[in-house]
A and B are shown apart, each in its own frame.
Chain A
Amino acid sequence: MDDEDRLIELMVQYQAGREEAFEEFYGLVKPRLHRYLIVKSLDRQLAEELLQETFLQIHRSRRTYFPGRPVTPWIFSIAHHVYLNDRRSRIKRKTREEPIEDHIIDLPVPSNMEAVVETDSLREAMTKLPPEQRESILLHHYWGFSFREIGRALGIRTITAKLRAHRGLLKLREYLNLNKVTENRRNNN
């Protein structure tokens, strides 16, 4: 049984009111959501606050999960919504500074790319991507969402999700090549 099947089972039990199911569900889902929220916010502390809010929202909206459907797009969609709400209210209140890139510690990196490029340079390059491109790349290449699922979770067209990931990959390639050239120059000097 893979993770998604187990999540579907747990979600059904969670809806039926079983606390133990929630505990296991939390354990399975927390690391993914946490990473996703770090990717979105580029701020570890904020990501933790949002994570709690996401779980509360999951709890309040657990009726909206249709048994049998994949759980991951459902929870990511809620996390996306929580992040957007928080961003809007922060813009209104202007209480929190925009996160700075020094805070970025452990952005996830697609494993198929890890084999080709050094993880640190890839991570650095990822942080320079526009947030929506970074999100599409990671949702597809790291979390394994189909572009259709990304579209449904974020409320965008499938083709838009594809384009964002494609453009992001082009930018990544461009940035990594530039990095290599600079490094070579440095070595030659």
Chain B
Amino acid sequence: MKEDQLYKQLRERLNHDFTPVKPLEKPWKRALWLFPISLVFMVVTLAVFHLRSDSANFHPLALFGFIFLQILACYLALTVSLETSIPGSVKNPLILTGIGLLGPAVFCIASWAAFHVSPSQPLSDQGWKTGMACLTIIGLFGLLALLFGFFLVRSGLPFRAGATGLLIGLGGGLTAEAAWRLHCPNTSWDHILIFHGGSVLFLLSAGLIIGFLWKKKVRRR
């Protein structure tokens, strides 16, 4: 072994860095952090912006149930994205797509149900103003969740960096949207699609870009 040229070079490059490392927690365990984060988003929403004005129209179980379901779908997306960065656990594109579609599906059903129970008027001039507020706040909350997702994934390898980024962006965006729905009483489709959907799309793109930057960084190491 001592005469193996490759081994010698390797030892030189490793520079005798054999500091003990702690194995990562399983992806499903690390992704559990999403729940306290979404709880913080909800508490901030309720404390700063108050509960939505039409909350009396909803059964509390339905209101919180859909929010919980959406966050659960985001948790799955985050778990799978973390798993995809672990060697030997890379998921195939079909599973990634299936898990990725769960969140948007819950989002659409929740939006449809909210519109059905408490329909609101289509966009007006005032609507654009409140819409921009929704876009900004969901975007900010989502960005925090997105950065946190990449913090969790940083020790892995970017096997499918694009998909990992998209799933983290989707998870972050839909978590923020779910929390913000506690405040936003606007259920019209144009508002939901343009502002809520728009901010999720922005976070998806941000996730994709950060994913590729991460891949580039790992390749340069």
Contacts and interface: CB of A to CB of B under 8 A. Distances in A.
Q: Indicate, yes or no, whether A interacts with B.
A: yes
A143 interface: no
Interface string B5-43: 011011001101111111110100000000000000000
Given A19-B18, A77-B87, A56 B13 contact: yes
Nearest to B85: A64
A56 B92 contact: no
Contact of B157 (A55, A61, A149): A61
B159 A81 contact: yes
Contacts of A75: 87
Nearest to A161: B92
Interface in A137-174: 149, 151-157, 160
Nearest to A66: B23
Nearest to B7: A26
Interface string B85-115: 1111111111000000000000000000000
B156 interface: yes
A180 B89 CA distance: 42
A154 B90 contact: yes
Interface residues of B, number: 36
A61 B88 CA distance: 12
Contacts of A56: 10, 13-14
Interface in A61-91: 61-67, 69-70, 73-78, 81, 85, 89
Contact of B24 (A26, A63, A81, A149): A63
B85 to A, nearest CB: 8
A27 B89 contact: no
What does DSSP make chain A's interface, helix, strand, loop or mixed?
A: helix
Contacts of B219: 85, 89
A81 B87 contact: yes
B90 A155 contact: yes
B52 interface: no
Contacts of B16: 19
Nearest to B219: A85
A16 B18 CA distance: 8
What does DSSP make chain B's interface, helix, strand, loop or mixed?
A: loop
Contacts of A61: 87, 155-157
B47 interface: no
Contacts of A63: 21-24, 155
B23 A65 contact: yes
A24 B98 CA distance: 42
A48 interface: yes
Interface in A18-60: 18-19, 22-23, 26-27, 30, 48, 51-52, 55-57, 59-60
Given A15-B20, A160-B92, A155 B160 contact: yes
Given A52-B9, A56-B10, A81 B18 contact: no
A154 B159 CA distance: 9
30 contacts: A15-B21, A15-B22, A15-B23, A16-B20, A26-B1, A26-B10, A30-B4, A52-B9, A52-B10, A56-B14, A57-B157, A59-B14, A59-B17, A61-B157, A64-B86, A64-B157, A66-B23, A66-B24, A73-B87, A74-B88, A77-B88, A77-B90, A77-B159, A78-B87, A81-B159, A155-B84, A155-B93, A155-B160, A156-B92, A157-B92
Interface of A: 14-19, 22-23, 26-27, 30, 48, 51-52, 55-57, 59-67, 69-70, 73-78, 81, 85, 89, 149, 151-157, 160
